[in-house]
Structure 1
């Protein structure tokens, strides 16, 4: 049975009781340092919150705010929207108080709840608790694993060959309900053999459910060839996806010059042949009256 949300009055009491003397003895040397925000941890520090629950459940945890300075500190708290929720942009996180006043050299533990929407898809989701004050801001990640069947599906789409910039352009789309860390392999084959081979390597991108990333891959296109470029993407737990693009590369400048030269040579040859044919042709007989006139004149 999912835990019930804490009532505001209980929140206030929990917050008041959690104000503890934070620094004494050797730790007091850090009294003039900056304030900090981190998950409350019984043994060892946690770099982020990790919570699990079914859609519709309410999860609870505590944020530790430490004021090592010699003056009171007021911090404002808010939760960010969870990524890849499929349920809009509303924040899942509700802190016990939107504003917390912390006495000098004191640590406050602030409860908060994470309300998982009823329609939240299974898989991993990431949000954050944000504390701000004293001219700075701190974000503490909140990772939520929503129970249910996990579907990992990844596709590569819209592959195009940008000749002018020597780039392969493509898009990765997460068609599943869990965040994916994709890897990419590239190969290119031409009429005269292999043009490019790049084995699979991790990409510097994390795709949330439903996420789309427009990416590029550098390459050197051939001067003269017909090439098929094939992209293969994989991710842990996901079926691999493939897509191809084909293009013909022709150096039109030299080709056009050669064509003009060939056309000129052909025209010159035709003219020479016509002249030769005219020189070799028999002279036509003159008319009889023209011959008679010529004789009389003699």
Structure 2
């Protein structure tokens, strides 16, 4: 009986589980199949006249006055047709170190204005359209790197931002353009600062926080290989840190990047010298063209000094000094209290002894005198008394 009930209960639980799984699967499938008909999804890639190719970026070298012709592929991955606006502009880097181009409301100041491309392109749903473009290098173009980008943009309504507000979405391809001639790979260090950060453990060293800016003041895009050398007086805590190009993997001409890091193992023993050296290094972005650079890549060095004051150790010594002084004063007060108690006890002892002597002297003065033989009155027949008189004859009479 119990076995049959257990079997029915097991079958009921399994059936309920299968039902829940079926419902969950149906909801998941419905969610997976559901698409937003207004969603715009698209991509822009390098291309040949026949279609997208394997290049990741455009990498060109062109003399002043020369023209370059190429094309991009604009693909619409959405559910409806889209009209895209084609935009070109100068290349920039975001504060996070990502390549981008100037926004649409900013006029190009360099190679972003050297492009000719159709203003718009209509791309049906699920289709790809090849868009040709031409770059004409001006006659007076300066030697060096002139980064730019070509993007497709579309503006869509944003309900989250409020009515009447549009959101511009843009996707594009980077364009590296180098004009041959005398190139100068050069970096500058700015706002170099070093701050000592002590450890709260008085028996452990602290660290030096180093911050600085790196500016590409040459005409060639480069990375910045960085080295920090930190040393206390007489070489105490001498430490060298090689950072490679961390944080400054690429700088295009005229741009800057800020970076910061900590150098550990520095003891607070007074003035600490921090020497920062950055060296420009060639940058590879995966382009097809590799132009050798004959110019030297010269390092630049800046030295700053900061004071590493042992505040934690000073506080510890002050606490120890207060503790020692407190213990000494406490011992002194105990000794003084004991001496006072001993002096009081001696005084009380002397006082008690002095009171006993006085009482004994007073007792001897008032003690009764020994009883003397009584004298008889005149006419007494006592011989002793008769013999004692002054007129009595001596015994020899």
- 1:103 and 1:255 map into 2 onto residues whose CA distance is 75
Partner of 2:263: 219
Specify the SS of the correspondent of 2:298: strand
- 1:180 and 1:126 map into 2 onto residues whose CA distance is 12
Cα drift, residue 244 of structure 1: 0.7
- 1:74 and 1:214 map into 2 onto residues whose CA distance is 39
Partner of 1:178: 220
Distance 1:95 1:63, change over 3 A: farther
2:215 is the alignment partner of 1:208:
no
The 8 Å contact of residues 92 and 116 in structure 1, kept in 2 or not, is answered as no
- 2:312 and 2:41 map into 1 onto residues whose CA distance is 65
Partner of 1:250: 309
- Let me know the Cα RMSD of the aligned residues: 3.3
- 1:226 and 1:68 map into 2 onto residues whose CA distance is 62
Please list, as runs of the form range in 1=range in 2, the aligned pairs for 1:63-212 lying within 5 A after superposition: 63-67=72-76, 71-83=80-92, 89=109, 91-133=112-154, 136-163=169-196, 166-192=208-234, 193-205=236-248, 206-212=250-256
Specify the SS of the correspondent of 1:210: coil
Structure index of larger Rg: 2
- 2:308 and 2:115 map into 1 onto residues whose CA distance is 58
- 2:260 and 2:61 map into 1 onto residues whose CA distance is 36
- 1:217 and 1:71 map into 2 onto residues whose CA distance is 49
Distance 1:96 1:198, change over 3 A: closer
Unpaired runs of 5+ residues, structure 2, are 1-38, 94-106, 157-168, 199-207, 282-295, 326-397
Unpaired runs of 5+ residues, structure 1, are 1-31, 266-298
Structure 1 residue ranges (4+ consecutive) displaced by more than 6 angstroms after TM superposition: none
Distance 1:45 1:177, change over 3 A: same
The structure whose residues are more often strand, as a share, is: 1
Distance 1:46 1:35, change over 3 A: same
The structure whose residues are more often helix, as a share, is: 2
Please list, as runs of the form range in 1=range in 2, the aligned pairs for 1:2-21 lying within 5 A after superposition: none
Cα drift, residue 78 of structure 1: 0.4
Partner of 2:278: 233
Cα drift, residue 157 of structure 1: 3.7
Deviations 1:203-232 (A, max 9, x none): 222211132223222234532222211111
Deviations 1:57-102 (A, max 9, x none): 3322112123356643211110022459xx9725325343211112
Question: TM-score when scaled to structure 2?
Answer: 0.50
Cα drift, residue 105 of structure 1: 4.5
Specify the SS of the correspondent of 2:222: coil
- 1:56 and 1:83 map into 2 onto residues whose CA distance is 24
User: Which residue, out of 52, 58, 63, partners 1:54?
Assistant: 63
Q: How many residues align?
A: 227
Partner of 1:24: none
Cα drift, residue 239 of structure 1: 0.8
Cα drift, residue 151 of structure 1: 1.2
